[in-house]
Amino acid sequence: MIRHMDVYACLSCFYHLDDTDHASINKYLSGLVGKSLMELEMSYCLEVAEDNRTITPMTLGRIASYYYLKHTTVRMFRDVMSSQCTIPELIDILSNASEFAELPVRHNEDQLNGDLANQIPLEVNMSSLDSSHTKANILLQAYFAHVTLPSSDYHTDTKSVLDQAIRVLQAMLDVSADEGWLVTSLNVIMLIQMVVQGRWWYDSNLLTLPHIQTYHISCFRSLGKRNDMKNSLNVTGPIETLPELMDICDGKHERLASLLDGIMEQQQVDQLFDVLVGLPQIEVNVEVKGWLAEERQSCTRQANIRYNGGFRPESCWLTVHADQEYLFHVTLRRINRSKKTDSKAHSLTFPKPKDEGWIIVVGNIETREVIALKRVGCVRGRTTANISIFTPQAVGRVIYTLYLMSNAYLGLDQQYDVCLDVLEPSIEAQVNSEVKADDDY
């Protein structure tokens, strides 16, 4: 039996304690807490009051806690990210997250990493091929580019990287949106789509479908030149995207079979059709709710988001008051019926089931600023989302753009303009500024 004296001696040695009495342990623990608080404060996760009695959590601390991330990761996001991050830059930032620091680099794997680095499109630091972060970068790129991995260990490591990547990217998105960076936020969402689908953002999104290979893309592009297709299916041009193929097939198996006649076997067409009809087709409507002085009450008005560019008529502009809170009531309706019984997104490559969902971003393109962001789950029938926004302080016309971004699919995103005519601030509107959703919403 181990004696108590031996246990205390082991604890003292392991924790570098001067002694094991109550005072020494209390001093050690106090120092440990103080050091931890100092590190969290340096990572912008919390703020310690001058009297050392009050601790206030900060936004980065809440984000790190919600996504179970190390504080050094969100600190790195704050220090490295900017308002104009490109997808290649975001891949590098993602790879440098502390969550990948323990990714194993085994004996001689630096040489294998070098061989893979020569097969991927984005450059990596060739002097740090033995780094876990460099290996994470290489594995992500190899996954997007469908590069053959050298061993089963690399497949295991890739699954580990992908398992961490989604939540790290979700935190990255929250950090970017909190800073108001529109370009970076949209690119982070696109990178999330890339991780789920295992494709580069510039790849044809038709490759999302099963049995579609790169050489099939030219077949779809040439369909518009075939007279029989043009006459029977109204194919007036090349099919470049998933929405175009979904629109032409319109949920009808015979149309897809006619398109792929002689290109694929019947069984492959059947499997492709099942996935195609299950992809979400979402109809978007936006209402603006808030106080309007001329009506002396809170009004709900339909936004005209269907206008396709060019000069906008007066009917497109909704009057609002400056520096005031309003509510965007967004209705999402799935217009295609699917046989799917679950909410899982289709992916040919992602190793874990991923729930289908949407990210609504309201932004100002002119200032490249995120106004609001909200996540929405799988849309089965009809789903609503209430998004609180504040109008600009300056009087004049402004266009807020609403982005409906998929959290799983490349090529299914939508974009709409909400045109606001900002009037002088209203004292009456300020008194009645609290905007709430109706109970029947």
Name the residue among 89, 93, 142 with its Cα closest to residue 113. Answer: 142
Q: Band the pLDDT of 272: cuts 50, 70, 90.
A: very high
pLDDT given at position 231:
45
Mean pLDDT value of segment 424-428? 76
Which pLDDT tens digit goes with each residue over 387-413?
A: 999 999 999 999 999 999 999 999 999
Bridge partners (DSSP) of residue 374 are 360
Name the residue among 72, 74, 69, 137 with its Cα closest to residue 105. Answer: 137
pLDDT given at position 429:
62
Using an 8 Å Cβ cutoff, are 399 and 420 in contact? yes
How far apart, in whole angstroms, are the C-alpha atoms of residue 324 and residue 317? 17
Both tokens assigned to 359: 């990210």
pLDDT given at position 439:
41
Q: Band the pLDDT of 40: cuts 50, 70, 90.
A: confident
Both tokens assigned to 297: 């009450």
Which pLDDT tens digit goes with each residue over 277-318?
A: 999 999 999 999 998 877 667 788 999 888 776 778 888 899
Name the residue among 146, 124, 156 with its Cα closest to residue 199. Answer: 146
Calculate the average pLDDT of the chain: 87
Q: Band the pLDDT of 364: cuts 50, 70, 90.
A: very high
pLDDT given at position 321:
92
